[in-house]
Amino acid sequence: MPERAFVCWGAGGHAQVIAELMARNGDRLVALVDGAVVQSFMDGVPLLRDAQALDIWLQARGEGPVLSAAVAIGRCGPDRMQSLQWLRARGMEAPALCHPLASISPSSTLGMGSQVLAFALVAAQARVGDACILNHKASVDHECVLEEGVHLAPGATLCGCVHIGKNVFVGAGAVVMPRLHVGENAVIGAGAVVTRNVPAGATVAGNPARAV
């Protein structure tokens, strides 16, 4: 695969993870965008303060190979999807990023801009939406559906046929039992064991998980 040049929205800790993933895949980080970080974590890679600064940088770059976009925002909410759409509106591609040590079924699908980190699993017929994060050792079993903007924290497990709504956060080590539905914008606490459907916007924790 030819080298791809990425612009990354976000320059904190998650961006450092994504930059290493890019390097493992033979890709290259060419610019970071973040107003909350003091300096770039990579020599030679500019840190742009906001969208206006990125537009100026793109204009100065001129014509060239099509850039790729990555969004390194780990928090819940629609920010990841909105940022990805903003970058795509400037002509960037948004490929899914998959660590070479992840296990991804050939019958599964990954949405644009999604990220599958080391030792994560995506099983048969699973469907992962746009701008999702499957963090280290997260497991998505057969026929699960993840809508856009979902973040599975390290070690989170979705058993078979689980449906996760938009912008849901599933905490580290949490388990969602088979054939359950988690409504959009819900939060599942670290280590929770979810044994029943979770309403939209709810926060649940514990074993078995209960609303908090």
- Catalytic residue ranges: 142
CA-based torsion, 99, 102, 107, 112: positive or negative: negative
Q: Which two tokens stand for residue 111?
A: 């949405």
Asked if 179 and 160 touch (Cβ cutoff 8 Å), the reply is yes
Q: Which of 94, 133, 139 is nearest to 116 (CA)?
A: 133
The residues, any chain, with a CB within 8 Å of residue 21's CB and separated by 6 or more, are: 97, 99, 115, 117, 118
Q: Which of 82, 85, 30, 93 is nearest to 57 (CA)?
A: 30
Query: Radius of gyration of the chain from Cα atoms?
Result: 17
Q: Which two tokens stand for residue 152?
A: 């599975």
| DSSP E strands, 10-65 | 28-33, 47-48
